[in-house]
Amino acid sequence: MAKRVPEERADNVSIRITEKLANFYHPSSECCIFRMHDGFRRQNEKAYEPLMVAIGPYHRGKAKLKQMEEHKLWYLEQLLNREKNKSVNEYIMAIKELEERARNCYAETIPLESDEFVEMMLLDGVFIIELFRKSIMRRLRAENDHIFQSEHIRYALRRDLILLENQLPFFILVRLFNMTKTDLDLEIIEIAVKFLQYNAPEQKLEAPRRISINNIKHLLHLVHSCWCFEFSEMNRNATKKQLEFINSATELQESGIQFKKAKETNLFDINFTSGILEIPFLIIEGEPGESFFTNIVAFEVCPSYDEPRYVCDYVVFMNCLINSSKDVRLLCHSGIIESWVGDDAELYSMWHKLFNITITDTENFSYSQVFNDVNNHCKRRQNVWMANLKRNYFNSPWALISFLAATILLLLTVAQTIFSILSFGKGSFN
């Protein structure tokens, strides 16, 4: 029988638990901005780290990002000088109205006092809105603005603004944009996409007509929605059959599969017909390209994400094909992949790291029909025999000549044998 806890000790435990419950933070239904779990983050930590600017609380205060904090203040000053009918206090009060809702968007308790949090939201939000505006309205740029004197800086900012851990709630941007909007302005989604449009590999982002401001959670969500919208409108090839993964590219080639660069511009539109696997062209532009894929996949595996995982499915598909450096080489020679990441081994490593953080819904996998068709093709023996024949005898002119010469010699030998048998039979009959 357990010993009875003294009443005084029981009271102390009760007080401690009550205090913990009072300070306990449980994410709300609006929670949409997360840190990547440490175990997954270690797969590729640099892909989540901003290079130039901290947005929101997760990377705030890092020394390497301090210079851009001064730039945020400068952009606010420029806005106030331009919009003289509004004081800084009006912007502060507008953000204060949204403070609680904004805090609820983060998966962690933000250890900032109210004034600090509101200041952060205001400076970060104004910086983003002004950056978008200045990128399409040259008259708003100051001559000494080094952001618009260097394409490298803008390239780094585009990368930083779509990092999973570097986000502001989109409704903060909407409020600030509407407060400062002029008749010359486009809509906020349009100016955001115009600045971020070249983040997606080999595909210029465009905002879908039916996209709603109220449904966008943050800039990473906006980019994901624009990138995947066209594919989501197509008839998905998912089937309810048991999913069986395909072999690597070199193994498929040995089974008679041919690889061809597809004409379609949508990266996810992969098709298999008559032994030919058509895959749209993909270019990985070094670290920014790797970071883009990593953060898009990370967004799809967040707890709040409840849509089809198109990018995860694509990563699973490519990871099946790329099982070694030889597979990378084959896809590059087929014109399907162009990589600036490094050598073939580095690109293979990149896909492997991406695959390690994906989640696969086997019952709604986008390429299940493609997988089934490819596997059925590989199971037919005649396809394997024809592939071996082509590989061993038709892969060079000399091999083809040797094969034809051997075939002719064999036919002549057979003909000579038949004539000998017929002559022998005729002599015996006489």
Contact 106, 57 (CB under 8 A): yes
Nearest to 282 by CA among 298, 295, 269: 269
Residues 347 and 296 in one domain: yes
Q: Average pLDDT, stretch 1-5?
A: 55
* 14 half-sphere exposure, CB direction, 13 A CA radius: 7
In this predicted structure, the answer to whether residue 106 has a pLDDT above a threshold of 60 is yes
Nearest to 189 by CA among 161, 164, 209: 209
Residues 301 and 176 in one domain: no
Q: Using CB atoms within 10 Å of the CB of residue 99, give its burial: 0 to 12 exposed, 13 to 18 middle, 19+ buried.
A: middle
Highest mean pLDDT among 26-40, 291-305, 414-428: 291-305
Interhelix angle 88-104/170-180, nearest 10 degrees? 160
Residues 250 and 150 in one domain: no
List, for residues 269-300, the tens digit of each pLDDT value.
999 999 999 999 998 887 888 999 999 999 99
At 258, the amino acid letter reads Q
Task: Give the separation between CA 47 and CA 52, rounded to whole angstroms.
Answer: 13
Residue at 178 is within a domain: yes
Residue at 43 is within a domain: yes
**Residue 395: predicted pLDDT:** 53
Residues 61 and 180 in one domain: yes
Q: What's phi and psi for 408, nearest 5 deg?
A: -65, -45
Residue at 47 is within a domain: yes
Q: What is the dihedral of CA 147, 52, 55, 228, to 10 degrees?
A: 80
Residue at 275 is within a domain: yes
List, for residues 217-261, the tens digit of each pLDDT value.
999 999 999 988 877 766 555 556 678 899 999 999 988 899 999
At 368, the amino acid letter reads S
Contact 318, 336 (CB under 8 A): no
Give the residue from 125, 160, 187 where a domain finishes: 187
Residues 180 and 252 in one domain: no
**Domain extent at residue 406:** 396-429
SS3 394: coil
Contact 214, 344 (CB under 8 A): no
SS3 100: helix
Residue reference for tokens 């450096």: 325
Residue at 88 is within a domain: yes
SS3 430: coil
The total number of structural domains that make up the chain: 3
Contact 199, 292 (CB under 8 A): yes
Residues 240 and 347 in one domain: yes
Residues 172 and 240 in one domain: no
Task: Give the separation between CA 76 and CA 96, rounded to whole angstroms.
Answer: 17
List, for residues 55-105, the tens digit of each pLDDT value.
999 999 999 999 999 999 999 999 999 988 889 999 999 999 999 999 999
Residue at 203 is within a domain: no
pLDDT-derived band at 345 (thresholds 50, 70, 90) equals confident
Contact 221, 238 (CB under 8 A): no
Using CA atoms, how far residue 45 sits from 14, 40, 261, 275, 291, in Å, is 41, 9, 32, 40, 10
Residues comprising the chain, all counted = 430
Residues 132 and 259 in one domain: no
Residue at 216 is within a domain: no
Residue reference for tokens 């015996």: 428
Q: Average pLDDT, stretch 2-7?
A: 58
**Residue 236: predicted pLDDT:** 55
Give the residue from 187, 219, 249 where a domain finishes: 187
Residues 79 and 144 in one domain: yes
Residue at 217 is within a domain: no
In this predicted structure, the answer to whether residue 165 has a pLDDT above a threshold of 50 is yes
**Residue 387: predicted pLDDT:** 47
**Cα 217–chain centre separation:** 17
Task: Give the separation between CA 375 and CA 377, rounded to whole angstroms.
Answer: 5
Residues 371 and 402 in one domain: no
Q: Average pLDDT, stretch 116-130?
A: 98
Using CA atoms, how far residue 144 sits from 71, 74, 147, in Å, is 12, 12, 9
Q: What's phi and psi for 57, nearest 5 deg?
A: -85, -20
Residues 380 and 402 in one domain: no
**Residue 389: predicted pLDDT:** 47
Residues 381 and 402 in one domain: no
Calculate the average pLDDT of the chain. Answer: 86
Task: Give the separation between CA 216 and CA 250, rounded to whole angstroms.
Answer: 41
CA geometry: angle 310, 313, 315, nearest 5 deg = 110
Give the residue from 167, 187, 207 where a domain finishes: 187
